[in-house]
């Protein structure tokens, strides 16, 4: 056990899985870097240094830099997965998935079903997402709802370094295609992370905090924001549960329902655009299955329905934060409970 950053946790998961299984290869643009250039090899180790050092350990045969051809190499990763490799492909920013989406959603996601259950596609696509970097409209999106929408894909959003390591190891060992979302603002976040390999199963939510009044469900970086909000609210005498589903597909709905049955109030926090996102999806499922348990309308905290703006003041306003979450919680506490209305 030692303190590790989100970046180091991911790097360690990759290294340990590559060590364990020679079929694991990684590929992506500049994931080592310096190919054909006169200076240092492994000059980048990925655009934010996440894969740094892996080329030195495993060589260029297993750490494959690619030209800028996302359709080509993401599709090649899918094809290689069908034929015995276990590729971990890095799609630098999830925004670039527009270039290669066909290979993901029509190809990799559907092989197993279309081929009558006779194919496995052990592919992981690691990708960076989220706002907060002043990176503007084409480098700041979340987009995980789009992948969650596609049957056949598993979708993972780690919310801390510990989670990142265990979930990535699980993703690599999983036989289905997995899209693994890394929030770009979190790479330097540190916490205690075990040195040895461990896997966190998919579809099992984490109870970050247990409370009685309100259930807050949040994903990725928003888990931190939700915890901060819960901390502040505790001082006001409002006790919140915070649930991190960890994976949006599969989704641990039973855990969410169980908590909602206890608290009767639900606040959903999702950094993705507000239409057809995880908040609306879970809201619909809770309304369908636990309407009777609700004491107040479900609240959703998401950005407005706009592209991500560049100007810092606008971006700060765009992203959900602890204050906005706390305000939503207070609003559900104020809403007349059913008993009071009767």
Ligand X SMILES: Cc1ncc(C[n+]2csc(CCOP(=O)(O)OP(=O)(O)O)c2C)c(N)n1
User: Which residues have a catalytic role annotated?
Assistant: 139
Give the range of 130-138, 177-185, 217-225, 231-239 binding another protein by CB under 8 A. 130-138
Give the range of 8-16, 67-75, 123-131, 162-170 binding another protein by CB under 8 A. 67-75
25-46 burial, b for 16+ CB within 10 Å, e for fewer? bbbbbbbbbbeeeeeeebebbb
Residues 55-74 that bind ligand X (CB under 6 A): 68, 70
**Residue window 302-321: x/- pattern of binding to another protein, with contact defined by CB under 8 A:** --xxxx-xxxxxx--xx---
Cis status, amide bond into 250, omega within 30 of 0: yes
96 near ligand X (CB under 6 A): yes
Cα separation, 34 vs 56, in Å, equals 13
Nearer to another protein, 67 or 117 (CB): 67
Per CB under 6 A, the list member of 12, 17, 29, 182 interacting with ligand X is 29
61 near another protein (CB under 8 A): no
CA angle (239 as vertex; 236, 240 as ends), nearest 5: 125
> How many positions of this chain bind ligand X (CB under 6 A)?
6
Per CB under 6 A, the list member of 9, 64, 78, 92 interacting with ligand X is 92
β 24-28/178-183 pair status: unpaired
DSSP state of 61: T
Cα separation, 37 vs 177, in Å, equals 33
Q: Which does 106 bind (CB under 5 to 8 A by kind): ligand X, another protein, none?
A: none
- Residues 6 or more apart whose CB falls under 8 angstroms from that of 193 comprise 1, 2, 3, 4, 8, 9, 12, 161, 162, 165
89 near ligand X (CB under 6 A): no
35 near another protein (CB under 8 A): yes
- Residues 6 or more apart whose CB falls under 8 angstroms from that of 88 comprise 14, 17, 24, 25, 26, 27, 124, 125, 126, 172
**Is 328:285 a contact under the CB 8 Å cutoff?**
no
Nearer to ligand X, 90 or 176 (CB): 90
Give the range of 36-44, 221-229, 263-271, 277-285 binding another protein by CB under 8 A. 36-44
**Residue window 99-138: x/- pattern of binding to ligand X, with contact defined by CB under 6 A:** x---------------------------------------
Q: Which does 116 bind (CB under 5 to 8 A by kind): another protein, ligand X, none?
A: none
**Residue window 81-100: x/- pattern of binding to another protein, with contact defined by CB under 8 A:** --------------xx-xx-
Nearer to ligand X, 135 or 251 (CB): 135
**Strand residue runs (E) in 141-195:** 154-156, 178-183, 190-193
Give me the least distance between CB of 264 and another protein, in Å please. 33
Give me the least distance between CB of 74 and ligand X, in Å please. 11
Sign of the CA dihedral running 66, 50, 110, 149: negative
**Strand residue runs (E) in 94-160:** 124-129, 154-156
The footprint of ligand X (CB under 6 A) covers 29, 68, 70, 92, 96, 99
């Amino acid at each position: 056990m030692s303190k590790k950053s989100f970046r180091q946790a991911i790097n360690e998961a990759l290294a340990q899985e590559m060590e364990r299984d020679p079929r694991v290869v990684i590929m992506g643009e500049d994931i080592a870097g310096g190919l054909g250039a006169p200076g240092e090899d492994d000059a980048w180790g990925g655009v934010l240094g996440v894969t740094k050092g892996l080329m030195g350990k495993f060589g260029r045969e297993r750490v494959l830099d690619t030209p800028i051809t996302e359709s080509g190499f993401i599709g090649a990763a899918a094809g290689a997965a069908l034929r015995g490799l276990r590729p971990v492909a890095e799609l630098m920013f999830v925004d670039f998935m527009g270039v290669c989406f066909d290979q993901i959603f029509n190809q990799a996601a559907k092989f197993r079903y279309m081929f009558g259950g006779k194919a496995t596609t052990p592919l992981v696509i690691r990708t960076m997402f989220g706002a907060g970097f002043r990176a503007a409209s084409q480098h700041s999106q979340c987009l995980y709802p789009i992948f969650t929408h596609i049957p056949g894909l598993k979708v993972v959003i780690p919310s801390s370094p510990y989670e990142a390591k265990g979930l990535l190891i699980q993703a690599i060992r999983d036989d289905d295609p997995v899209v693994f979302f890394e929030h770009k603002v979190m790479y330097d976040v540190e916490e205690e992370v075990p040195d040895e390999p461990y896997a966190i199963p998919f579809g099992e939510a984490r109870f970050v905090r247990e409370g009685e009044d309100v259930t807050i469900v949040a994903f990725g970086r928003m888990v931190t924001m939700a915890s901060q909000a819960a901390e502040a609210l505790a001082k006001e005498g409002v006790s919140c549960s915070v649930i991190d589903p960890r994976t949006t597909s599969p989704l641990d709905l039973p855990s969410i329902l169980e908590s909602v049955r206890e608290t009767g109030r639900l606040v959903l926090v999702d950094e993705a655009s507000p239409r057809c996102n995880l908040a609306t999806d879970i809201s619909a499922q809770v309304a369908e299955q636990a309407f009777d348990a609700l004491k107040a309308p479900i609240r959703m905290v998401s950005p407005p329905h706009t592209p991500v703006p560049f100007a810092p003041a606008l971006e700060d306003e765009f992203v959900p934060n602890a204050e906005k979450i706390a305000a939503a919680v207070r609003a559900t506490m104020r809403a007349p409970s059913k008993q009071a209305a009767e």
